[in-house]
Structure 1
Amino acid sequence: MAKRVLVVDDDAGIRAAIKLRLERDGLLVQMAADGDEALQRVADERPDLIILDLTLPRRDGLEVLAQLQESADTAAIPVVILTARYRSKEECPRSLSPAVEVIGKPFSPRYLAERVRTLLAGKGPSELGTPTPAG
């Protein structure tokens, strides 16, 4: 069965580009345009991984992430944060679980797909090696 990835970004172009790239890898991609829709999709469809922008309407990405991390049902879902605000996990204003990785915008779709594949294979961000986002 194909792994399910939820892409949460208010930019339709970014959502479409990520969807196209991940579908080439055989992943099932679901999309949400805001934080409330993201939480509803997680509750309804339980993705295997979430790609989450921080700047979202209705409920920002950090609020979504906090809610995911507070629930025993969703805390273990790996999350890749896409953001222009921070370049690394250490720069984020809140403590992030080991299942969270931060990738700064702009990013390479190929690089993002590599990170997604690795996380879905069960390796946490600390096991991924040194990031090389360009390319």
Structure 2
Amino acid sequence: MPLEHMRMATVLPATERRQAGQSLRKIVPRSAHAQWTPASGRADPVDILVESGRHRIASLLPIRYDRMRASPFAFYRGAAAIMAADLANTPMTGLWVQACGDCHLANFGTFASPEGTPVFDVNDFDETLPAPFEWDVKR
């Protein structure tokens, strides 16, 4: 990941953030996210799973793969590396966030800010990583 994505962001007023986001639509229009076409030279998904397995406990891999075979949902849940490889070739605005990595409603909740203000936000960061915001939306 480029270092420029790791520096502290300057927080602009909401109106300026909105304008900046809208101006990015000229570069990456919302319609650019409507369809997915596999990249030429796309890595074989099985090869991606094999590679990710090299960093896991070998004796547990058969259990992992059995669980992934249970349903399409289970497969996609266990195949985040495949999706990350595919998303890396999709249109991106360049807006990076600390992505949840598993952005669905069950990973949101309410909690109090340090000032005591109630907040509704992501509360499950076990799969978090710096990434383009589009990845969380598409995942």
Mark yes or no: TM-score above 0.5: no
TM-score (norm 2): 0.25
User: Between Structure 1 and Structure 2, which shows a larger proportion of helix residues?
Assistant: 2
Q: TM-score, normalised by structure 1?
A: 0.26
